[in-house]
Chains A and B, each alone.
Chain A
Amino acid sequence: MTRALSLSVELCLLVALLVAFGALLAPGSRAGRVAFRAMVWGAAAALLASVGTLVLRLDVVWLMDAWRVDLTTQVVKAVIMAGLLGSVLATRQDSDEWHNVRAVGPFFRLACALALTAVASAGDLIVLWLALDIATAALVLSVAVGGRWSAREKLVRRMVQSWLPASALMLLGVILLAAVSGATRLVDLEAVIPEMRRSPVVLLGVVLVLGSILVRAVRLVALMLPAGARLTAD
């Protein structure tokens, strides 16, 4: 039961994502509103689940340490869910926009949030890299489909230009670290890297992995925050 509870955040988001996907495929004008409600309720349920699992102080691993659930991961997930709910409130729509809301935006926002929870729980370099890429791609798509292309084109191009090179460099860092240390699990790397810290290849791998995560996060936030105010007016 405790092991099952450790995945409650992801389950809430997955159910909401499936509802949003159904709304995406469904015809009719109400589909967008159904997807939007699924996003809000899914994020609220996931936030409650992350706070609940924090109280329970879970410490569970899945898939041979590739997926970890502990105090840190649940705190990060609570922050992500709060951010998702905050982004919904920040882009609150008036009654005309509410009737015309589309299902694609909520679907990609939910996909981004789910991928970010995977980043928080990642216990393996490859899982971390793939989850970051899925989250970034979903974020780019949620911005791209959120309104008129002419208003968003420049922002989307800059987001793609920030994402792809950072991801390629992170892949190189993952390959170097995994090849030299012989491990991709973060638990094993924590034990091996301190002994190999003088190796230039290991240092390069660590710099590439951490640097690409940092640059990607900072650049995407820097692009989205000032643009967000302009885009919500479109």
Chain B
Amino acid sequence: MTLTIVLVAGALLGVFGLGAAALRRSLIGMLVGIQLSVGGWIMLAAGLWNLSGTEPSTGHVVVMGAVTFAVAAAVLVIALHLAAARASRRADDLEPW
């Protein structure tokens, strides 16, 4: 029962996140969608490995890789967003911040 709930919740979160990312209204909005979907896939991985009775070490490695990807993507997208904001303010002869 717990495994089913975790798998369904993870799949729903992942699909919702991908849908939000597909709207592509802004870089930050897309980033939030991707982070939600990666969180959903992490729940899937946790459920498939930790709750199904198989060896969990592979699932742990997958989860660590997913977290690393999510953090790196967040840092990069926020840095790009800040660069765009600074360039926009510079174009209007304003201070960068």
Give residues in A with beta carbon < 8 Å to B: 126, 129-130, 133, 137, 140-141, 144, 149-150, 153, 156-157, 160-161, 164-165, 167-169, 171-172, 174-175, 178-179, 182, 184
Give residues in B with beta carbon < 8 Å to A: 14, 17-18, 21-22, 24, 27, 30-31, 34, 37-38, 41, 44-45, 48-49, 52, 54, 58-59, 61-62, 65-66, 68-69, 72-73, 76-77, 80, 83-84, 87, 91
Closest 4 CB pairs of A and B: A179-B48, A149-B87, A164-B34, A168-B37
Cross-chain contact A168 with B34 (CB below 8 angstroms): yes
Cross-chain contact B69 with A167 (CB below 8 angstroms): yes
Instruction: Point out the residues of chain B lying under 8 angstroms from A169, CB to CB.
Output: 18
Cross-chain contact B45 with A165 (CB below 8 angstroms): no
A171 to B40, CA, bound (A): 11
- Partner pick for B84 among A140, A153, A161, CB 8 A cutoff: A153
User: Distance in Å from the Cβ of B8 to the closest Cβ of chain A?
Assistant: 15
The answer to whether residues A144 and B83 also contact, given A160-B30, A172-B41, A175-B48 and a CB cut-off of 8 A, is: yes
Cross-chain contact A172 with B76 (CB below 8 angstroms): no
Cross-chain contact A161 with B41 (CB below 8 angstroms): no
Known: A130-B65, A133-B69, A160-B27. 4 other contacts (CB 8 A): A126-B65, A137-B73, A168-B14, A168-B34
Cross-chain contact A144 with B69 (CB below 8 angstroms): no
The answer to whether residues A137 and B72 also contact, given A165-B34, A171-B41, A178-B62 and a CB cut-off of 8 A, is: yes
A140 to B79, CA, bound (A): 12
Nearest A residue to B14, CB-CB: A172
